[in-house]
Amino acid sequence: MTAPTDDARPADTAALDALFERLWADYAAVTPSAARIQALLAERGEAAPADHIALRTFDLPGIGLDALAAPFLALGYVATGDYTFAVKRLRARSYSHPLGYPRVFISELITAEFSERLQRTARGLAAQVGADPLRGQRWDPPAHRVYEALRAESEYAAWLSAFGIRANHFTVAVHALQGFADLAALNTWLVAQGFGLNDRGGVIKGGPQVHLAQSSTWADQIEWAFADKAATVPSCYYEFAQRFPQADGALYDGFVTDSADRIFESTDHRGGDKT
């Protein structure tokens, strides 16, 4: 037995690798376009490292933001910023790892600001979660009418009820790509490959002025088994982020609330939009 040290330990990287492999598998299982884009990038020789992942949850005991952050903190992550989304009634925190593992962005819905019915539904879902929600111990989807009732109050709550605690998106680190000059060049290529991009507030959110430019696909539309029937609903999306150096030369490490606010909407149902 050796005493733990402050140095990065090999066991930590094995645990981190396993955790991200699991998160990717759960995510890719409902996001076929992400796996396709990753394969297309690989054909061009791009390793497409992840800039960050995002998790969504309810602010309830056992599954709230702090509960989901704990395993990451135990593996060496440090908090880098707090964010609030007033209209969507979310709070969020970001985390980075000194060894360059993907940043982690965790948001939680402030359930007390919604109806008693939504709160009751959320508590019922949370009660089903096992001790390890990041490793697939998630709740079963509710009945489709319950999902629709949630959606009337919050697209975020409806998405979360259906898909549970899993990565809501993975994000390609565009600044680490070899064959694309910038995010605009990558977007042009993605559209040429047939992928639709979220254009709410413009295709590119942010830019050099805030040290972070982001775009994303629309969420895939997949057939999903609700408690009572199957229905086609938006699942997850793939995001693309280009970070820019700050005055000190280091890449910006945080997140931009206004941009994230529109990226969240990549999982919205879209009335007459073509998918």
Residue whose CB is less far from Ni ion, 68 or 129: 68
- The CB-of-35 to Ni ion minimum distance in angstroms stands at 18
- The CB-of-260 to Ni ion minimum distance in angstroms stands at 6
Residue 80's H or E segment, with its range, is strand 78-85
Residue whose CB is less far from Ni ion, 154 or 171: 171
> Which residues are CB-contacts of 24 (< 8 A; sequence separation ≥ 6)?
167, 170
Residue whose CB is less far from Ni ion, 102 or 141: 102
Distance of CA 220 to the CA centre of its chain: 14
Paired residues of 224 in beta bridges: 231
- The CB-of-3 to Ni ion minimum distance in angstroms stands at 38
Please give the Cα distance from 226 to 150 (Å, whole number).
14
Residue whose CB is less far from Ni ion, 96 or 121: 96
- The CB-of-228 to Ni ion minimum distance in angstroms stands at 32
Q: What does the binding site for Ni ion look like in residue numbers (CB under 5 A)?
A: 54, 171, 239
Place of tokens 């969240």: 264
Residue whose CB is less far from Ni ion, 92 or 122: 92
Q: Are 161 and 258 in contact (CB under 8 A)?
A: no
The CA radius of gyration of the chain, in Å to the nearest whole number, is 18
Please give the Cα distance from 205 to 202 (Å, whole number).
6
| DSSP structural state of residue 57 | E
- The CB-of-71 to Ni ion minimum distance in angstroms stands at 19
